[in-house]
Structure 1
Amino acid sequence: MIAEKAVLGAMLKENYLITESNLNVMQFTDPVNKMIFQSMIELRKAGKTVDMITLLTSYSPQDLGGANYLNDLTNYAHLERFDNHVGELLDVWREREKKNVLHVSAHEDWSIDKITAELTALTDNRVNDHSDILSMLVDVYEDAFIEKDIKEGAPSGIDKLDDMTNGFQDGELTILAARPSMGKSDVMLHIAKQSGWKGYLPIIFSLEMSDSSLRDRLIASTGRYSRSRMRNPYSMLTDRQKEIWPQAIGLLSETKIQIFDRSRQTVPEMRMKIRKMMSEHQGMKPLILIDYLTLIHSDENKQNMHLQVSSITKELKAVAREFDCPVITLAQLSRAVEQRQDKRPIMADLRESGSIEEDADVIVFLYRDAYYTKDEDDNLMEMIVAKNRNGPVGTAVAQYNKYTGEVLNGEPISERVVV
């Protein structure tokens, strides 16, 4: 019953898991665990916090196994492995129910069809992935004759890029790749801001930079401050720049950006945090941004880096599908780029490129010619869409200010920003 204890312990720590798990009482085996889960559901429905104190004061401690048993449950909790423990619990329940179906069917002489239907139903308790083509066709029967609004994805704020991708789409994995110092993190933060202002919930997993570093970058690009001045805003900002500081802070607060900056995070850990943020921000569609791919920690003991990256990209694609949201992860390019005369990236430049090419729905490379020419007047950034599973490929051009981190769609930055 360790899986049951781990599930209940996690629910005591994070109450939103009580309803998010989609479990029911009969799927637990131990009678005490059933009673605890039923009590949790009732308290949750009543709008009460579910913890050891409320359980013991609201119900008979003896029915719940006593204070020591409840306290012990939290020792089994492992939030990052919650989904695995739920799966183990369900496997035990299915095996128990399968034996029960076969026992009853033998005594009551069920037909093969009824036995098959009952056994099949055991696999449908969490996810129904069946679609009937007829009902699907009915949904789109009038699409050729009646104009409908086209669903746009999370915006990048760069018109041509959004034209090619129709925004970052739900259920899709996008790889944003470049060599160091090309502006990957600034583009990620730009996308986070743009999507946040459009009602998305941007969730950033920063495996390299701290949350305060990201905060300062966000303020700099929004207020058009040189990042060097962000080291000491009080003494280094001009009076005019200080005047717009509250406005920049206010604009940023509207994005609802969430940042998790612990290094060596795993995909299961990210999944748990996403679920928690969605519970706390009901009705908001998440946009997941990860900086960056090869810093994601894998629990699996794979010596081969290619196998690790392959496993991680497949997990990220599954996250996009599970939460029906866009997932964007940054990636580094190999040094092979530097050996060519034309240093614009190609697919082969992706580190461990085979698995990334296979799993990604969209791959965007960033390239700045000024990085190599050292031309201070050149602020163009090319966004090269090298793969687009559901749309065209091509290049979008943005304006980029390396001093402030601002990314723009319009007129040259040099004419707009005070550095």
Structure 2
Amino acid sequence: MLAEKALLGTFLKENHLLHDTIIRPEHFAEGRHRLLMQLMKNIHSKSRAVDSITLALEGDPERYGGLSYIQGLLSYANPVKFEGYEDILLEKWKEREKRNILTLAAQEDWEIDRVVSSLQAMNQARVDDYHSISDEIMNVFDDPWRESKKQSGSLTGIKQFDALTNGFQNGDLTIIAARPSMGKTDVMLHLAKQAGWQHYLPVIFSLEMPSRTITMRLIASTGGFNRGKMRDPYQLLSEPQKERWSATLGKLNETCIQQFDGSSQTVPIMRAKLRKVIHEYPERKPIVFIDYLGLITPNDTYGGNANQQVSEISKNLKAMAKDFNCPVVCLAQLNRSVEQRQNKRPNMSDIRDSGSVEQDADVILLLYREKYYDHSLKDPALELIITKNRNGPVGTAYALYNENTGEMKDVDNQRII
């Protein structure tokens, strides 16, 4: 079957997926594919490369079709569709298992309870989400008498915001929404830098700006350079600014930020790219930033229904945060209705094509600057309005924002690095 060949070919092309997959040899329908899967897992468990040579050395090539068959599997490989192949195999396996259970139940006249429990056990293909209440109770038994380490996520350096949220938490989906040019991309880049300096692995999916533009913005905000001068640093930077250029790049390099700037990306494509980069930096915990929600391509057009498209995307983003156990921070646009109100501070319902965003997000953060609407003001205040916080209080945090450099400071006017 094609899905089995595609999955095995993908394992051959991207060995690291063998570590993540939920597929076991018995999930394959074809006998030689079961043998190949077991052999691949055995070789990978020894931290050795899985290829035609190691497969030939470790097993009998004639049992699974010879080396030419293995080479042919590579033509079916497609890492982007890896999770889809997993789902197909599991569904086919469940269909076979269901038929086997019902046949055996009829032959041996099983009790109905035994049939139901067997079918339920078969449906529990993902065993990594199992938690016994006995084990969980033992984990917390001594908590009243043991000082526990405070679980903080990726901190932002904005004291008021960190006090409300305790940073960005693993498994949480955060939506940061604002009107165009309010500063949301600069906020995202600030958060990415802060995470990197805390030894996280910031992974940016920039669906709007090319990586060159993102990089120049990062340099400007880190070095305090006016973005207008970044168009031609040779001509426009002063000598003192040029003297701190190298130190700025060195500081920025410590963040280990990873960028993907392809347009029209789906969540499954982003998952595949994230999975690969995680394996390249196993010592760092990932945190994902996406710019922005409205540019993510849905898997289905839903007849052009934007709300349904956004609902699918937000559910998939939440699933990505949970499955990878990392924070996912996604930018979003606010609709124009904000401009028509006298009080232009945004509300959660102002998120464009909100769909199920309000339900799926753990934290919703709205940005507001008074100066955005009144250019005569000199006030650099940026309001970070937390309108939803599933695991904490809501409220407003304040920062100082320099729209010329993209730099953010805490309200005490301290640089946040």
Q: TM-score when scaled to structure 1? A: 0.91
Q: How does 1:242-261 map to 2 (within 5 A)?
A: 242-261=242-261
Structure 1 pair 147–67 and aligned structure 2 pair: CA distance change class (3 A): closer
Q: Which letter does structure 1 place at the counterpart of 2:251?
A: L
C-alpha deviation, 1:310, in angstroms: 0.7
SS in 1 for 2:388: strand
Q: CA deviation at 1:113?
A: 6.3
- What is aligned with 1:398? 399
Return closer, same or farther for 1:357/1:109 CA change in 2, 3 Å cut-off. Answer: closer
C-alpha distance in structure 2 between counterparts of 1:216 and 1:322, whole Å:
32
- Root mean square deviation of aligned Cα: 2.5
65-74 vs 227-236, which moves further: 65-74
- Alpha-carbon displacement from aligned partner over 1:308-340 (angstroms, at most 9, x marks no partner): 001111111111111111111000001111112
Q: Kindly provide the CA deviation profile for residues 257-315 of structure 1, in whole angstroms up to 9, marking residues without a partner as x.
A: 11111101101111112222222222422111110001000121312001000111111
Residue 20 (structure 1) aligns with: 20
Deviation at 1:98, TM superposition (A): 4.0
Gaps of 5+ in 1: none
- 1:369 — aligned with what? 370
- C-alpha contact 2:310 2:354 (8 A) present in aligned 1: no
Structure 2: any 5+ residue segments left out of the alignment? none
| Aligned-residue offset at 1:169 | 1.4
Question: Take 2:204 and 2:84, find their aligned partners in 1: how far apart are those partners?
Answer: 24
Give the equivalent residue in structure 1 for 2:211. Answer: 211
Amino acid at match of 1:172: D
Change (3 A) 1:11 1:145: same
Q: What does 1:167-182 align with in structure 2 at a 5 Å threshold?
A: 167-182=167-182
Paired residue for 2:87?
A: 87
What letter is aligned with 1:259?
Q
State whether residues 379 and 412 of structure 1, in contact with CA within 8 Å, keep that contact through their aligned partners in structure 2: no
CA contact (8 A) 1:221 1:406 kept: yes
Q: How many residues align?
A: 415
Query: Secondary structure at the residue paired with 2:63?
Result: coil
Amino acid at match of 2:230: M
Verify the 8 A CA contact 2:308 2:355 in the aligned structure 1: no
1:28/1:354 Cα in 2 relative to 1: closer, same or farther (>3 Å)? closer
Structure 1, residues 20-53: CA drift from partner, whole Å, max 9, x if none? 1132222222122223323322332343333345
Q: What's 2:390 paired with? A: 389
Match of residue 330 from structure 2: 329
State yes or no: 1:36 paired with 2:36.
yes
Following superposition, the deviation at residue 398 of structure 1 comes to 0.4
1:182 is displaced (CA, Å) by: 0.8
Worse-superposed segment, 361-370 or 73-82: 73-82
2:272 is aligned with 1:268: no
One-letter amino acid of the structure 2 residue matched with residue 295 of structure 1: L
* 1:360 and 2:348 matched: no
For the residue of structure 1 that corresponds to 2:356, the secondary structure is helix
- Residue 96 of structure 1: CA displacement? 2.9
**CA shift for structure 1 position 97:** 3.5
Distance 1:76 1:309 in 2: 31
Rounded to whole Å, the distance in 1 between the matches of 2:58 and 2:376 is: 71
Whole-Å separation in 1 of the counterparts to 2:337 and 2:98: 56
3-state DSSP of counterpart to 1:176:
strand
Query: Following TM superposition, by how much is the alpha carbon of 1:105 offset from its aligned partner in structure 2, in angstroms?
Result: 6.1
2:316 maps to: 315
Q: How many angstroms does 1:71 deviate by?
A: 3.4
Post-superposition CA distance 1:155-188 (Å, at most 9, x none): 1221101111111111111110000111111100
Q: Indicate the SS of the match to 2:62.
A: coil
2:69 maps to what in 1? Answer: 69
Q: Does 1:351 align with 2:352?
A: yes
Deviations for 1:100-143, whole angstroms, at most 9, x for unmatched residues? 45555666777766665554433334235444555544543444
The more displaced of 369-378 and 331-340 is: 369-378
- Bigger CA drift: 41-50 or 295-304? 41-50
Question: Does the CA-based 8 Å contact 1:155-1:167 persist in structure 2?
Answer: yes
Structure 2: distance between partners of 1:101 and 1:337: 58
- Contact 2:398/2:411 (8 A) holds in 1: no
Aligned-partner residue type, residue 365 of structure 1: L
Please say if residues 293 and 330 of structure 1, whose CA atoms lie closer than 8 Å, have aligned partners that are also in contact. yes
User: In structure 2, how many angstroms separate the alpha carbons of the residues matched to 1:217 and 1:165?
Assistant: 26
Distance (Å, rounded) in 1 between the aligned partners of 2:331 and 2:51? 39
Taking structure 1 as reference, are residues 255 and 213 closer, same or farther at Cα in structure 2, changes over 3 Å only?
A: same
Q: Match of 1:305, as an amino acid?
A: A
| Mapping for residues 131-150 of structure 1, pairs under 5 Å | 131-133=131-133, 135-150=135-150
Superposed CA offset, 1:72-107 (max 9, x none): 323333322211211211222233334445555666
CA distance in 2, matches of 1:178, 1:171: 23
SS in 2 for 1:353: coil
What is the CA–CA distance in structure 1 between the aligned matches of 2:11 and 2:370, rounded to whole Å? 52
Shift of 1:56: 5.2
Residue in structure 2 matched with residue 290 of structure 1 by the alignment = 290
Please say which of residues 57-66 and 264-273 is displaced more in the overlay. Answer: 57-66
Decide which moves more: 306-315 or 36-45: 36-45
Aligned 1:105-144 pairs, distance under 5 A? 118-133=118-133, 135-144=135-144
Q: 1:40, 1:86 → 2: CA distance?
A: 16
Q: How many Å separate the matches in 1 of 2:61 and 2:238? A: 64
What is the rounded CA distance, in whole Å, between the counterparts of 1:338 and 1:83 in structure 2? 42
Counterpart amino acid of residue 359 in structure 2: E
Question: Which shifted more, 220-229 or 259-268?
Answer: 220-229
TM-score scaled by structure 2?
0.91
TM-aligned CA distance change 1:148 to 1:408, over 3 Å: same
Residue in 1 that maps onto 2:195: 195
1-structure distance, mates of 2:64, 2:103? 31
1:48 counterpart SS class: coil
